[in-house]
Amino acid sequence: MKSLVILSGAGMSAESGIKTFRDTGGLWEEYPVEQVATPEGYAKDPALVTRFYNERREQLNTVKPNRGHEILGELEKEFKVTVITQNVDNLHERGGSTHVIHLHGELTKVTSSRDPYNPAYIKELRPDEYDVKIGDLAADGTQLRPFIVWFGEPVPKIEEAIKAVEKADIFVIIGTSMNVYPAAGLLNYVPRNAQIYLIDPHPVAINTTRHINVIAKGASEGMAELAKLIQP
């Protein structure tokens, strides 16, 4: 069974109605990144940051996986599929994908403010627990913080992602600007004999000498076309 590795970004979830951060009208225009996506912002105003991620979780209850997510789940019947995502939502899992590496953390999880990457303190929230409050504590007695990899923090899952990419027979980039590192650097680990596809309705500037098959469509239409092209 061939190995199919997907690198997905905000464009993958945009069709489902998840607001992107960088696009016009995106979340960074409403909330400066320094306020809600850095350890310093959290230290300065934990209530604001907690509320911001509560709102993101609340939105999860109103959206569904799009056809692109579902096709990826269905491809597990024919390929060994690994999804490496920069997204913090759970739409890949809800779409049927069973092996998802979240580079930037997971919105539905919370953790310790003091020791955020200690597995003993990471907790999956039920939908009725999505509204985290100041005073809700992790097992070590510190305030629960979002299990999100903020700017300036290490990306603990990058080594696992590199290992998956190194085994790819087919590597697909979908809905990401390839501007955010270390995720953008994963292309450097794709084997020389692997096929590379890019699914995006907009031009994406990628600094590589590798041949890339471009599918200039959104997530759902693009995944449908990809599924036909790579049929075993």
Q: Is 99 a catalytic residue?
A: no
Pairing of strands 105-112, 123-124: antiparallel
Q: Residue 24: its pLDDT value, please?
A: 43
Residue ranges and CATH numbers for the domains of the chain are: 1-18+65-104+155-232 (3.40.50.1220), 19-62+108-148 (3.30.1600.10)
User: Within a 13 Å sphere around the CA of 156, how many CA atoms are in the beta-carbon half?
Assistant: 10
Give the Cα separation of 122 and 7 in Å (integer): 24
Residue with tokens 């994908």: 97
Q: Name the stretches of the chain with pLDDT < 70.
A: 19-30
Phi, psi of 24 (to 5 degrees): -55, 130
- 17-32: pLDDT as tens digits: 886 554 444 444 467 7
Q: Which of 69, 92, 102, 104 is catalytic?
A: 104
Q: Residue 153: what residue type? A: E
What is the side-by-side order of every strand in the sheet holding 105-112?
A: 123-124, 105-112, 144-148
Q: Residue 19: its pLDDT value, please?
A: 66
Q: Is 67 exposed, middle or buried (0-12, 13-18, 19+ CB in 10 A)?
A: middle
| Tokens coding 114 | 């003091």
Give the Cα separation of 175 and 154 in Å (integer): 23
Q: Residue 21: its pLDDT value, please?
A: 55
Contact partners, residue 5, CB within 8 Å, separation at least 6: 81, 82, 84, 164, 165, 167, 168, 170, 171, 172
